[in-house]
Amino acid sequence: MYTLRSRAPMRISFAGGGTDVSPFPEQVGGAVLNCTIDKYAYATLRVNPDGKGIMGVTSVDYDVSARYADPSELAYDGKLDIVKAALKILRPARGSRPEGIDSVDFYLHSDAPPGTGLGGSSAMCVALVGAFAHYLKEPWTPYDIAELAYRIEREELGMKGGRQDQYSATFGGFNFIEFSAGRTVVAPLKIPRDVLNELAYRLLLCYTGSRRYSGGIIERQQAGVAEGRTETMEALEGTKRLAIDMKNELLRGNIDEMGRLLDEGWQLKKQFTEGITNPHIDALYAKARGAGALGGKLVGAGGGGYLLLFCDFERRSDVIKAVQQTGGDAADFAFELEGLQTWSVRPPAGSLPYPLASRP
């Protein structure tokens, strides 16, 4: 018996979110600027090569456990569905292993639950795929892993959303990602350390006090694109241009421009479709602006979750107080420049050797 573990970071999106959601990238082409932070999804695999093929799954966050003796038991019912889909797509068939197949227990844990806008469900899916890559000794590239995670979430399970979350969790760091029909290109950004330090100091990540469930928002946005709705198309095209502008300003080290561009992006985002914001979010944002925030936006599809704010450095504490007075809560975070990582857990001294660690 041996144990493997993986972790994938969550992300904050600066600009371009929504342009990665079909059918917009296929029709026009999308672009997103984002970075990963030090909040993670963890997947642990405890492997027993007994040939029985029994599967156990435990979600620490939801306090849910289940065991499955046969793939036919893996019915999607809203509980542990991402794991079930990963098992169906990635696990080798018993018929391909005459000696039987390993029994595997999964343990899942996340630093932030789904519905917070940080790409948590996609990070968990990437962590699962990464753990499978390690377990099966598959030579999957980061692009392969991101696409497999996309297939599990968007195609197998029908979960609404785009592609940026799977790619950011896999690659990690600051990335400018372009999306088109049948192709995704990740361009890692090499940003000087002093710029990163200043940007981290000027940003605040604030929980709005409510989770968001983005399926309906994304469906309405997709309908707007499919119908060629002018307001939706112009807003998405504008946020794509904004992602390019923000990337260029960041590479030049023009930190002060980030506040203005974040606010411009938020005004565009609210035009994608109805439901992006609500009176509570509008009040929180207005209070933060009045206290010294130069700009900001929700980091997910909309409706709740986390609000990213850019502050005047002299008034950072004032913004934190204003957010708390309006029912929000400032969260500590730091940039994470690494993506998906997998490793073998060292066994106790004197036990059998464990597989060598690997990273996709």
Q: Where are the alpha helices (DSSP H) in 253-337?
A: 256-269, 279-291, 316-325
Q: Which amino acid is at 240?
A: K
Q: How far apart are CA 301 and CA 276, in angstroms?
A: 7
Question: What does the alpha-carbon distance between residue 328 and residue 296 come to, in Å, rounded to a whole number?
Answer: 14
Q: Is 165 a catalytic residue?
A: yes
Alpha-carbon span 315 to 185, nearest angstrom: 38
Q: Looking at the chain, how many residues does it have?
A: 360
Structure-derived torsion over alpha carbons of residues 59, 142, 337, 252, reported in degrees to the nearest 10: -140
What the block records as the tokens of 148 is 């497999």
Distance from C-alpha of 151 to C-alpha of 8, rounded to nearest angstrom: 17
Task: Return the structure tokens found at 274.
Answer: 């109805």
If we measure between CA atoms, which residue out of 46, 86, 259, 197 comes closest to residue 56?
Answer: 46
Q: What does residue 58 show for φ and ψ, rounded to 5 degrees?
A: -130, 125
Catalytic entry in 20, 111, 165, 263: 165
For residue 261, what are the CA distances in angstroms to 301, 321, 341?
Answer: 18, 24, 32
- The β-bridge relationship of strands 55-59 and 103-110 is parallel
Q: Which residue has the tokens 């995704």?
A: 184
Q: Which residues contact 357 (CB under 8 A, 6 or more apart)?
A: 342, 343, 344
Count CB atoms within 10 A of the CB of residue 30: 28
- Please list the active-site residues: 165
